[in-house]
Every structure is written in C-alpha cells, then in structure tokens.
Amino acid sequence: MSTSTSTSTWTIVHTATHLADVILGSIADILGHLGIDATRLFSTWAQDESAISAWIAEQSLDTVVLECHRPSGAVDPILEFPVTYTSTGVADKTFTADRASLARYLAKLGTVPRGTTYRLFVTFRTARTPQPGWSPGSRAGTDGMRSSSFGTLAGAPHGSASLRYLTSK
C-alpha cells in the first residue's frame, strides 16, 4: 500500500508581494491612461514595491494614495488603494487581480490637463518599519470630493486591495 501526501503553504509574504505588484501596476496603468509622466514611478519601482510589500507583510499599511497635482494647484483626482487583512488564508487560496475590470473602469476616468504630476502617499493602521525612499508627508484634503468605489482590485490569502476614486467633479 502506498500513501501520498501534499502540503501547500500560503504566507503573508506571498500575499504582500502580489498586492504590492497589483497596486503599483494599477497606478502605472492609471498614470498612463491620464497621460501623466510615470518615469519616476518606474525608476523607483523596486524600492517602492519592496516598501509596500514589507508594510503589507507586517500588516501596518492601511492605504496607498495616488494624488494627481494639476498645474493650477488643484489636486484632482485622488485614487486610494485600501488594503484589508484577514486572520487566515484559508478563505481564499487563490491570487486574483481584476485587471480587465480596471481597464473598463479607466475608460470612465476624467481627463487631466497637460503638465499634471503625481505624488504617492501611504497611510498606516499601526506602527511601521521605516523603508528607504519614503518619508513623512501631508496628503491633500478630500473635503467636498465625491467618492466612488471600484471594489476589490486584487485578492490573496490573508488580504486584499480595493480602489476608491475621489474627484471634485
């Protein structure tokens, strides 16, 4: 008689890497769609992915924020990528990313004027480990902005990321 055993291990590190990649990839897609120069995003990609992944792995990250700064000084739109955590990875043993829905959602985004730039921020739910290239900053206010939700952008065992779009229009 023979016996066969199989084991699968899902770790928060796998989830963190997946979610960081999907969030940054979505930001790149959004910047490209809006016509905002993403050269800086790509030049710091490895550093940013490492930092976001580390914060997700330690479960300190609350939200990654993309602010679009117009030449007039207005900050519009603002896109938020909240991260949620689950205590176990049993509920969802797959890694998902809804890139097709994101592409359809991008078609609904407004336009921004030429010369619009961007800033990335992160907010935390608990104390976090400092990461290279990231320092404290102040987010733009969101009072009076309309918010709409994309829903879940990506999921994995132990967590998921969603997308909220805020605009003054």
Residue 142 phi, psi dihedral angles, 5° rounding: -120, 5
pLDDT digits (tens, 9 = 90+) for 104-121: 778 778 889 999 999 999
Domains of the chain and CATH, by start = 12-128+144-167 (3.30.900.10)
pLDDT of residue 110: 81
Average pLDDT over residues 158-168: 91
Cis preceding linkage at 136, omega within 30 = no
57-112 pLDDT, tens digit per residue, is 999 999 999 999 999 999 999 999 999 998 765 444 455 556 667 777 787 788 89
Which pair of structure tokens corresponds to residue 146?
A: 């309309």
